[in-house]
Every structure is written in C-alpha cells, then in structure tokens.
Structure 1
Amino acid sequence: MLGNFKYSNPTKLYFGEDALSNLKVELASYGTNVQLVYGGGSIKKNGIYEQVITILKECGKVIFEDSGVMPNPTVEKLAEGCQIAREHQVDLILAVGGGSVCDYAKAVSISAYCEDDPWEKYYIRFEDVTCKIIPVGCVLTMVGTGSEMNGGAVITNHKQKLKIGHVFGDNVFPKFSILNPKFTYSLPKYQMVAGCFDIMSHILEQYFSGEDDTTSDYIAEGLLRSLITSSKIAVKNPEDYEARSNIMWTATWALNTLIAMGKTTDWEVHMLGQAIGAHTDATHGMTLSAVSIPYYKYIMADGLQKFKRYAIHVWDVDPSGKTDEQIAREGLDRMETYMKELGLVMNLSELGVTEAMIEPIANSTLIMEGGYRILNHEDIVNILTNSL
C-alpha cells in the first residue's frame, strides 16, 4: 500500500435482533431533551416508532418530534430542524430511519448553532465545523448509505439545482448506531434494491482508483461478493435474516472509511447521480444504477488492469484465451446482467430525464479527480447521453 494515512472510527455499533435493547444504555449518557428525527411515517406502521418512544419515555426523556424528512433532505427542511434543535436546546438528535434521515440528523447537528449560512459554509465552501455540535444517535431501518458509521451528510438545494454531500470528520460521526436487520424487512423492493446498488457503488467508487496492490481492494472484493450473493437471495425472500444481515453489515463497512485507506477514490458516479437527483428527486440508488455501466465503459481503457481484476476476482470471468479488454468488458457485462436481475433502473429516461435536461444536469455535476480519468464537461454530457 502506498501513501500515509490515519484511521479512526468513533461510532459504537449494536448489531442484531436485540440491538434496540441497548438504546437505554446509550440514552443515559445524554441530557433530557431528545429531537426524534424520522421520515414519512413508515416507522409508525411497522411498530418501530412505538418501541423507540416507549424506551425514550422510560428513560425520562422529553421528546421533540421532527418528522417528514424526505428521501433527498432539502435546505428548507434543514432550517426547520435547526429551529427545533435551538428552541428546545436538545441534548441528543435520535435519527430513526434510513440514510437520508441519518444524513439530515448530522446536518442539523452541525448547523443548529452555525453563525453562518450552513449551505454556504458546508456545501459551497466545504469548510469545517467551528460551532457547537449536537450529538447524534441512529436507529437504522434502511441500508445503503453507510451514514450510520460515517460523517457524511447530503443536502439538496432545489433552487440552485444542486445536491451535495460533505464528509465531515470524526466529531460529526454518530455516537452510536443500532442495527437490527429485521427493521429492514418491510422496505419495498424498489427501495431495497436501490439501497443494494448504493452499497455496490460506494465500494466501486473506492475500488476503481490507484494501481498499487492494496489490502483495501481485497476487502472491497470480498464485500462485493457477499453483497451480490445476499442481494440475490433477499430479492427472492425479503425476510431471509442471514441475507438481510449480511447486506446491512456490508453497507456499513462499504462506507465507514475503512476501504478508502491507502486509496485516492473516484466518486464521479455519485457526482453524476447527485446532479440527476437535484433535477428529478429520483431515488439515489437508482440514479447511480442508471449511469454506472455507461460511466465504467467510458473510463474502462484508462483503468484497464483494475477492470480486468474486477472481472476475474468479483465476477469469476475466465481469462483464458481473452485479451485484457475482453476480460474487462465481460466483467461489466456480468455486472449489467446482475443489475437487471435485481430490477434496477438501467437508463435515465426511466427517471424522467429527457434529452433537453442533459446540459443542465451536466452543469450541476461536480468534477472529481481521484479516478482513472478526470472528466470534462463534454465527457459528462456524453456519459449522460449514453445513459438515456
């Protein structure tokens, strides 16, 4: 492995069927006022809300509900959450939901006492946190983002047509996260498979960079193989505990910063997907699936040896009698077949993108420099066009 790095991860995880029982232990470390953050109300239908409320009341907490967090949290919603946090001087923000809810909770935690405009400070100028941070805890009900064990927080500004993620340091990581695979059973198939591809994309964004032999890449290949196996099982039987637990654990390790160690990392697929999301409000994982195959085919020649390795190590492509390009392309073909088998969105038109929207989306796409090819505006337009 080349380069130097520092690694730490301060989030404490509780995993398994009895994970929620540990919430009482964690709540004892925080003050009375709790801001309970959740989305559209699915946690009330599946009973998780009642379980959490009961524990909070048993621990003597005063609850301030912050519901209605949308799949792509907006700057307007962020302002609402900050107002709740300040007015009630909350001691803990408890996020109960998926990645968007966890992202939003972290954004509120660093923005409530920010003296500047949080959007400008964190998402335009990408500055560090200099104000009081409210601690965050998570009860996960949907997997994909890895937000339960990282410092990432993605916010959408519809007026500016921008969806931007800022990855903050250890001080913004959730203090604890509770992961019960059974809490993901009631998720609709569309959301489940979108989450599975978000996991895959997180791994690939870190995998397709660098040329040296790294332990991180071997771990990434193992995570990918586990995800592929378990996602196929979960699509057929959503209540297969072993498959859902493997998916949940893989999602966490895909983006808790471990496999980025010693890597440059790419993230251009996410920049494309987030730009699409800013214009369409489409489900995040599906924006990624729609552009991934066109993007990887576009840059394959620039990272040919890694794409060859990917084909052999992850997709079991037999290299006998084939050129490096043929091997690499067969790997992407097998990936595409798998994606279709899962029921993922494979083109942007399914998300409502038209040819007339390509240029505006391209204008909203940030350029990253860590992958095998640094794109220009024309490249982005070509990839988006190929994704239609």
Structure 2
Amino acid sequence: MLGNFSYRNATTLYFGDDSLKYLNEELPKYGKNVLLIYGGGSVKKNGIYDAVIEILKSNGKNIIEDAGVMPNPTVEKLREGVKLAKENQVDLLLALGGGSCCDYAKAVSVSVCCDEDPWEKYFIRFEEPTCEIVPVGCILTMAGTGSEMNAGSVITNHETHQKIGHVFGEAVMPKFSILNPKFTMSLPKRQMVAGIYDIFNHICEQYFSGEDDNTSDYIAEALMKSVIHSSLIAIENPEDYEARSNIMWTATWALNTLISRGKRTDWMVHMLGQSAGGFTDATHGMTLAAVSLPYYRFIMPYGLPKFKRFATEVWGIQADGKSDEEVAMAGLSAMEDWMKKIGVAMSLSELGATEDMIEGIADGTFILEGGYKVLTRDEVVKILRESL
C-alpha cells in the first residue's frame, strides 16, 4: 500500500426492499422545510414519489418541489435550484432519483448560502465551500454513479460545451442514503446498462494505476467480477432481485473512496468521456464505454503487468504459452465481448459525436497524472479519433 492515508465515510446507508421506512428515522434530525428534488416524473408513475410524500407529511415537513432535473444537470438548472432553496430557506435537500439528482443536490447544497456564482466558484476555479452547507439526503432509483456515498458533483454547461466534476470534502457527502433495489427495476434497459458500465469503469479508473500489490486491487477485482456476473443476469431478467441488489451495492462501494486507498488513481476515461458528453449530452455511462477500449489499448504497454493481471484474475484468461502482451490483449477482448453483450455504446459516433467535434472535445479534456502514461494533447486526439 502506497503512502499514508485516512479513511472515513460520513454517509449512513439504509439498504434493502424495506429501507424506505428508515426515512422516518432521519427526517426528525432536520428542520421543517424540505426541498424534494427529482427528475422527469418516472417516480410519480411507479409510486415511489407518493410513498415519499406520505412519509414527509407524516413527519410534519413543509415540502418544496424541485422537479425536472435532467440526466446531465445543467448550470441553468443549478442556478434555478439555488434560487428556489434560498427563497424557501430549506433545511434539507432530499434527492429522489439517480446519480444526477444526487449530484445536483450536492451542487445546490454548497451554493444556497453563497452569493458567488456556483459554476465559476466550484467548477471553473475549483474552490471549496466557504459558507454554510445545506445537508443532503438521497433516495436512490438508479445504480451507477455512487453519488449516494461520495462528495462528487458533475454539472454541464451547454453554452461552453463543458461537463465538469468537482469532488468536494466530507461535509458535502449525503448525510444518509436509502437504497432499495426494487426502486431500480422500472428503469429502461438502456439506463440500467449505462449504470452498469459506469460502475465497472469507476473500478477500472482506480485499478489501472500503480503496480504495487495492494489490498485495494484485490477488492477491486472482486467488485468487477460481481458486476460482470450480475449484469449478465440482469439484462436477461431485469426483475431478478439478487442481481439488481448486487449491482446496487457494488455501485456504492465502487466509488466511496475505499478502493482508492493506498494507491494512485487514473480517471482519464472520465475526463475523455465527460468532455465528449459536453458536446453530445449523451448518457454518462455510454460516453465512458465509447472511449474506454481505445484508451486502455493505448496505455496497456505502459502498465502491462496490471493488464495481464486483469486478464487472468477478472476474465479468467489462461496465460500458458502466451506472451504478456497476448494475455493482456485477450483480457481487453473479453471485456469488449462483455460490453457488446450487455449493449453499451461502442463508439462516440453512436452518441452523436462527429469528426469536427474532436478538436473541441480534446480542448475540453483535463489531463490527469495518476495513470501509467500522462497523455499529450496529440495522444488525446488520437484516442478520440479511434473512439469515433
């Protein structure tokens, strides 16, 4: 394990098919005014909204609704939510939905009591909150982002074609999150699959970085195998509770910082995918899928021992009689086969990206230094072209 580190996670989780009842235990801890944040209305069709409203009312809460949070929350929507929260002096932000609602709630939470523009302060200058933070709670209806147990928030600016994430400190993490796997079963298949790949790539971003033999990587391999196994069951039977519950639990542990302890982390797939998302507004998990294989094939020679280990430990590739390069490539081929089987996007062109966007996407890609190879801009362009 590299270096010295600390680990603490401040979010309380309630998991299972009866977990919503624990909202009754959390609500008394907060004031009267609750901003209920949700998306396009699916929670009203499946009955989850009504169940939450009933619990809020039974706890004497004043409910202010903030509907219409889109899959890639925009800076305009963020400013709208901040205004609504300020006007109603909210005491709790309750996100009912997927990772986008959770991300959005966290961005609102750090902005309500601050007079500065949230986009400039948090997503351009990457400053930390300097004012009071309104607490956030999450009721999850989609598994994928891990936003229910971390301090990350991603906001999109369509005007500038930027999609930028900010990982805040512990104070911004949800105070509690309710995870009922049954709430995810009404998702369209494409959204479920996008979430599954998002989970898998979160693990990869922390796995393909550093060559030390550490406990974090052993945990990561187990999580990856769990996602692969359960995904194949869930695409055949989306209502298989065991598979959906395993996917939901894995999503949380994939990005609550546990498996990043004691090692470097990469995150270049996210930088490439998020920049592409700023131009296409495509689903996050799908943009990650589109750029993953070109990126990993490019950096494989620089991290060959880990890619060989990935092939043998995660995909069961037999190494006998093969060179390290052949084993590693076989692992990525197995990953490609699985991606096609579950139905993720395999190219950026599928998501609306075109050749004339490549330079702009490259300009919007943050270059990080935690992986095996620090990319040059020309290498970013090359990877993006291979992703089309």
In the TM superposition, residue 310 of structure 1 has moved relative to its aligned partner by 0.3
Runs of at least 4 residues of structure 1 off by over 3 A? none
Q: Secondary structure at the match of 2:123?
A: helix
The 1-side partners of 2:115 and 2:96 are apart by 27
Q: Which residue of 1 aligns with 2:82?
A: 82
The 5-angstrom pairing of residues 187-202 of structure 1 reads 187-202=187-202
Following the alignment from structure 1 to structure 2, what is the Cα–Cα distance between the partners of residues 115 and 302?
Answer: 46
In 2, distance between residues paired with 1:207 and 1:49?
37
- For residues 312-323 of structure 1, what are the structure 2 equivalents within 5 Å? 312-323=312-323
For the residue of structure 2 that corresponds to 1:111, the secondary structure is coil
Task: Look up the match of 2:139.
Answer: 139
Aligned equivalent of 1:355: 355
Q: Deviations over 1:304-335 (max 9, x none)?
A: 00000000000000000000000000000000
Q: Distance between the aligned counterparts of 1:194 and 1:271, measured in 2?
A: 17
Partner of 1:289: 289
Whichever residue aligns with residue 377 of structure 1, its letter is R
Map 1:55-204 → 2, pairs under 5 A:
55-204=55-204
Residue 204 (structure 1) shift: 0.2
Specify the alignment match of 1:21 in structure 2.
Answer: 21
Partner residue in 2 for 1:366? 366
Q: What are the superposed Cα offsets for residues 103-122 of structure 1, whole Å, 9 maximum, x if unpaired?
A: 00000000111222211111
Provide structure 2 residue ranges, at least 5 long, that are not aligned to the other structure.
Answer: none
- 1:308 and 1:111 mapped to 2: Cα distance? 45
> SS of 1:171's equivalent?
helix
Give the equivalent residue in structure 1 for 2:252: 252
Q: Does 1:238 align with 2:210?
A: no
In structure 2, the residue matched to 1:385 is: 385
Q: Distance in 1 between matches of 2:58 and 2:234?
A: 35
1:6-45 alignment runs, 5 A limit: 6-45=6-45
Q: Aligned equivalents of 1:258 and 1:132: distance in 2?
A: 27
The root-mean-square deviation of aligned C-alpha atoms, in Å, is 0.6
Residue 125 of structure 1 and its aligned partner are, at CA, apart by: 1.3
Cα distance in 1, alignment partners of residues 371 and 227 from structure 2: 23
Moved more, 236-245 or 348-357: 348-357
* Distance (whole Å) between structure 2 residues aligned to residue 133 and residue 34 of structure 1: 14
SS in 2 for 1:137: strand
Opposite residue 369 of structure 2, the aligned amino acid is E
1:272 aligns with 2:272: yes
| Equivalent position amino acid for 2:327 in 1 | I
Distance 2:7 2:116 in 1: 30
Gaps of 5+ in 1: none
Measure, in 2, the Cα distance between the counterparts of 1:24 and 1:80: 29
C-alpha offsets along residues 144-172 of structure 1, whole Å, 9 cap, x if unaligned?
A: 00000000000011111110100011100
2: distance between equivalents of 1:386 and 1:222?
Answer: 30
Does 2:307 align with 1:307?
yes
* Aligned twin of 1:344: 344
**C-alpha separation in 1, matches of 2:82 and 2:344:** 35
Distance 2:306 2:127 in 1: 33
Cα offset, 1:223, TM superposition = 0.1
CA distance in 2: counterparts of 1:67 and 1:213, whole angstroms: 46
Partner of 1:329: 329
Spell out, residue by residue over 1:266-316, the C-alpha distance to the aligned partner (whole angstroms, 9 max, x if none): 000000110011001000000000010010001000000000000000000
Percent identical among aligned pairs is: 68
Amino acid at match of 2:12: K
Q: How far, CA to CA, are the matches of 1:381 and 1:190 in structure 2?
A: 28
Structure 2 CA distance, aligned partners of 1:90 and 1:3?
41
Q: CA deviation at 1:100?
A: 0.3
Question: SS at the partner of 1:326?
Answer: helix
TM-score by length of 2: 0.99
Cα distance in 2 for partners of 1:74, 1:354 equals 22
Q: In 2, Cα distance between the equivalents of 1:376 and 1:108?
A: 35
**If the length of structure 1 is used for normalisation, what is the TM-score?**
0.99
Amino acid paired to 2:295: Y
Letter in 2 for 1:183: F
Q: Which amino acid aligns with 1:309?
A: R
